[in-house]
Amino acid sequence: MIEIEGLQKSFARGKDAHGAAQAVLQDLSLSVKKGEIFGIIGRSGAGKSTLIRCINMLERPTSGRVVVDGQDITALSGAALRDARRRIGMIFQHFNLLSSRTVFENIAFPLELSGMSKRQIEQEVLPLLELVGLAEKRDAYPAQLSGGQKQRVAIARALASKPAVLLCDEATSALDPETTQSILALLKDINRKLTLTILLITHEMPVIKAICDKVAVLDKGLVVEQGPVFDIFTAPKADVTRVMVHDLIDRDLPDWLADKMAAYKAGPSNPILRITFSGPHANEPVIADLVKRFDVSLNILQANVDYIQGQPFGIIVVEAVGKQEAIDAAIAHVHSQNLKAEVLGHVADDDRAVA
């Protein structure tokens, strides 16, 4: 649905010390399939805003191609570009509603632009008001609405021209967490109902986790990593990604445990294991199984199970108490289930982790 090929953008104004134009996007390629919710995440200054604006030519790329729904947008200008833009909806961080127009008139705006008759506009706008749950606000002005309501109006407005693609430019960044959730739920809902392709940019990992199917990580104008959200979250490869995922999935051991733990086995001690659950065996009762099958007892020190794209992803830290052979066999069994088990360190027997 959206094909980005070799996209480059540099701004003449931001020249560096050598007088060369500063590259904001460097040879960037992405492919977004129909009906997909594709997230682009990056820190501020990574080039996200420029990238999303290159898709509807609010920013003209220096080179490269953008194809939306089979149409090469980069080749268009003037009236042809305006027609193409009507098939690409967009919502913004600060909503960008016309303050002089009511909710109804704001949603009607893109239809007015295309010269639709008043009666037809009414027929188109009313169902949209229902869809975003603002039917009773039709005559209110934006100043009378909350942030979440404003973004709902903006979504309805973007949908009015029946776009093939919806671009979301930090659409929830100005909203509180609760409202963010309701807007994300609405986006997911329209994505399903209308099989609308959504491309969103954000700096918030929770947004990606909540609704995206695929994600690309943007850093300094380059895509450093991309793939299904589950894979990126559970096995981040790039450093930038690792840092962003870290905030969301707590892999750090509690301080008291880290203090007591020794890296090597010295004297009578018990290993501390971290078992990572993901994939098809994540739903099986692995811990109970280990205790039953092998002669080990497990003290659960830390446990966290998260659901990403409906798939469970868990990290459990346990202290294994038992004979060395039994523990080794248990670790081998975990590995045979395609789950990960790593020995983090050892805690002396007389200084048990769980005192």
Q: Is 143 in the site for another protein (CB under 8 A)?
A: yes
Stretch of residues binding another protein (CB under 8 A), selected from 29-37, 91-99, 248-256, 341-349 = 91-99
Closest separation in Å from C-beta 49 to another protein? 11
**Angle, helices 147-160/177-193, rounded to nearest 10 degrees:** 20
Q: Is 118 in the site for another protein (CB under 8 A)?
A: no
Nearest CA-CA partner of 317 in 344, 335, 294 = 344
Q: Is 109 in the site for another protein (CB under 8 A)?
A: yes
Closest separation in Å from C-beta 164 to another protein? 14
Given candidates 96, 173, 181, 309, which one binds another protein under the rule CB under 8 A?
96
Q: Is 135 in the site for another protein (CB under 8 A)?
A: no
Nearest CA-CA partner of 324 in 349, 301, 354 = 349
Q: ∠ at Cα 247 (244, 250), nearest 5°?
A: 125
Q: Is 42 in the site for another protein (CB under 8 A)?
A: no
Q: Which is nearer to another protein, 182 or 309 (CB)?
A: 182
Given candidates 56, 74, 234, 241, which one binds another protein under the rule CB under 8 A?
56
Closest separation in Å from C-beta 225 to another protein? 28
Q: Which is nearer to another protein, 178 or 255 (CB)?
A: 178
Per-position DSSP letters for 219-278, written without gaps between them: ETTEEEEEEEHHHHHHS--SHHHHHHHHTTS--PPPHHHHHH-BSS--SSEEEEEEEEE-
The DSSP call for residue 107 is H
Place of tokens 């301080």: 255
What are the Cα distances from residue 351, in Å, to 99, 244, 268, 269, 345? 66, 35, 10, 8, 13
Could you tell me whether strands 311-322 and 222-228 are parallel, antiparallel, or unpaired per DSSP bridges? unpaired
Q: Which is nearer to another protein, 89 or 322 (CB)?
A: 89
Measured between alpha carbons, how far is 151 from 324 in angstroms, rounded to an integer?
59
Classify the phi-psi angles of 38: left when phi > 0, otherwise alpha if psi is within -120 to 50, otherwise beta: beta
Place of tokens 């639709």: 116
Side chain identity, residue 101: R
Q: Which is nearer to another protein, 99 or 336 (CB)?
A: 99
Stretch of residues binding another protein (CB under 8 A), selected from 139-147, 284-292, 300-308, 337-345 = 139-147
Q: Is 61 in the site for another protein (CB under 8 A)?
A: no
Given candidates 113, 185, 288, 303, which one binds another protein under the rule CB under 8 A?
113
Interacting residues with another protein between 147 and 176 (CB under 8 A): 147-149, 157, 161, 167
What are the Cα distances from residue 88, in Å, to 11, 82, 84, 121, 246? 24, 10, 7, 19, 34
Interacting residues with another protein between 167 and 226 (CB under 8 A): 167, 179, 182
Determine the 3-state secondary structure of 16 from DSSP: coil
Q: Is 112 in the site for another protein (CB under 8 A)?
A: yes
Do 64 and 74 contact (CB within 8 A), yes or no? yes
Q: Is 71 in the site for another protein (CB under 8 A)?
A: no
Q: Is 314 in the site for another protein (CB under 8 A)?
A: no
Q: Is 265 in the site for another protein (CB under 8 A)?
A: no
φ, ψ of residue 94 to 5 degrees: the values are -105, 30
Stretch of residues binding another protein (CB under 8 A), selected from 146-154, 186-194, 253-261, 341-349 = 146-154
Closest separation in Å from C-beta 133 to another protein? 9
Given candidates 15, 34, 60, 82, which one binds another protein under the rule CB under 8 A?
82
**What is the contact surface with another protein in residues (CB under 8 A)?**
56, 58, 79, 82-86, 88, 90, 92, 94, 96, 98-101, 109-110, 112-114, 141-144, 146-149, 157, 161, 167, 179, 182
